[in-house]
Amino acid sequence: MQIARTVEEFRALRASVPALGVVPTMGFLHEGHLSLVRRAKAECGAAAATIFVNPTQFAANEDFSTYPRSLERDLELLRAEGCDFVFAPDRVEAMYPPGFDIRIAVGGVTTMLEGAVRPGHFDGVATVVAKLLNITQPTRAYFGQKDAQQCVVVRKLVRDLNMPTEIVVCPTVREADGLAMSSRNAYLAPAERQAATILIRALRAAEALFQAGEREADALRQAMRAVLAGEPMAVVEYVSAAHPESLAELERIGAAGALLSLAARIGKTRLIDNLVLPPAG
């Protein structure tokens, strides 16, 4: 496995393979990330991961400085998966040199859900993803469904800017008790870790209602809120039953299906999760 610490070093590695699958990450890797690397390797022949905690997608009051980092462990995990290349910029200035002041705004789909709670977040995501795709020039880039709105934003970025990369969204990987894997789970104290399963339990309650025939989106949102209300440690930020492309809140679940999503704080830790409902007649 070859490790590039600068853009120029990565470009030289990239030129050595005809096709490449890339997994952009902020490091502190877990099985979710590794499942993407395996798929990239299997589908493209060569796989690369990028590891960069991107400051421009954190607001001033967020956890940029405390976001967990573990480069040596990450590299070991990637090596064990047969990952070919890693792009791990050696400093923030490698990505944002002095004088950098470009910004990509992806429009309507960035204003709701995570975008409403985290203003500017998706401009930061879109800009760094555009840069990472231009640097790594992947045949395909792999993202986890766990960050559902990010997947919508990245797909729109690539489509609207005609970027020559295929975006592949892979299933959320979960712990045995259903908690979605996330680097931020490392923040949870034992009691909080227990309480955190309330997110997937809320989503599954709404999904079960849907499977039993419920088509009113409000009923699904209320079901999620009712389950979340049973966990005193959870402070709900939003629950949503939205169109999977436009992310507009639905009145009824119809031919487009729906994205059920929610965000809650457990103690000081902010967690998100989602499930996709299939099209309904």
Residues within the annotated binding site? 26-33, 57, 144-147, 150, 173, 181-184
Query: Which of the stretches 61-69, 73-81, 94-102, 254-262 binds its own copies when contact is defined by CB under 8 A?
Result: 94-102
Total number of residues shown for the chain: 281
Tokens of 129: 């993803």
> What does DSSP assign to residue 254?
B
Active site residue 33: yes
Binding site for (R)-pantoate: which residues?
57, 150
The DSSP 8-state label assigned to residue 238 in this structure reads: E
Q: Indicate which residue of 10, 13, 25, 33 is catalytic.
A: 33
134 part of the interface to its own copies, by CB under 8 A: yes
177 lies in the binding site for its own copies (CB under 8 A): no
Half-sphere exposure of 232 (CA within 13 A, CB side): 1
Asked if 111 interacts with its own copies (CB under 8 A), we say no
Strand partners, 264: 236, 271
Contact call for residue 82 and its own copies (CB under 8 A): no
Q: Is the CB of 107 or the CB of 171 nearer to its own copies?
A: 107
Only segment of 162-170, 190-198, 210-218, 261-269 that touches its own copies (CB under 8 A): 162-170
Nearest approach, Cβ of residue 13 and its own copies (Å): 14
Asked if 136 and 87 count as a contact pair (C-beta separation under 8 A), the reply is yes
CB within 8 Å of 245: residues ≥ 6 apart: 109, 152, 256
Tell me if 105 contacts its own copies by CB under 8 A. yes
The interface region with its own copies, picked from 128-136, 236-244, 255-263, 266-274 by CB under 8 A, is: 128-136
Question: Is residue 156 close enough to count as binding its own copies by CB under 8 A?
Answer: yes
**Residues binding its own copies: what is the number (CB under 8 A)?**
25
100 binds its own copies (CB under 8 A): yes
In the chain, the amino acid numbered 240 is S
DSSP category for residue 198: H
Give me 177's structure tokens. Answer: 């008790």
Question: What is the pairing mode between strands 166-170 and 47-51?
Answer: unpaired
Reported as half-sphere exposure (CB side, CA atoms, 13 A), residue 110 has a value of 20
Check binding of 135 to its own copies (CB under 8 A). yes
* CB 32, CB 146: distance < 8 Å: yes
103 lies in the site for its own copies, by CB under 8 A = yes
Task: Establish if 131 lies at the interface with its own copies (CB under 8 A).
Answer: yes
Give yes or no for residue 218 binding its own copies (CB under 8 A): no
Measuring CA to CA, which residue among 162, 105, 109, 163 is closest to residue 132? Answer: 163
Question: Out of 13, 40, 47, 106, which residue is the one contacting its own copies (CB under 8 A)?
Answer: 106
The residue among 142, 134, 121 whose CA lies nearest residue 57 is: 121
Catalytic residues: 33
Chain residues in the site for its own copies (CB under 8 A): 7, 11, 100-108, 126-127, 130-131, 134-135, 137, 156-157, 160-164
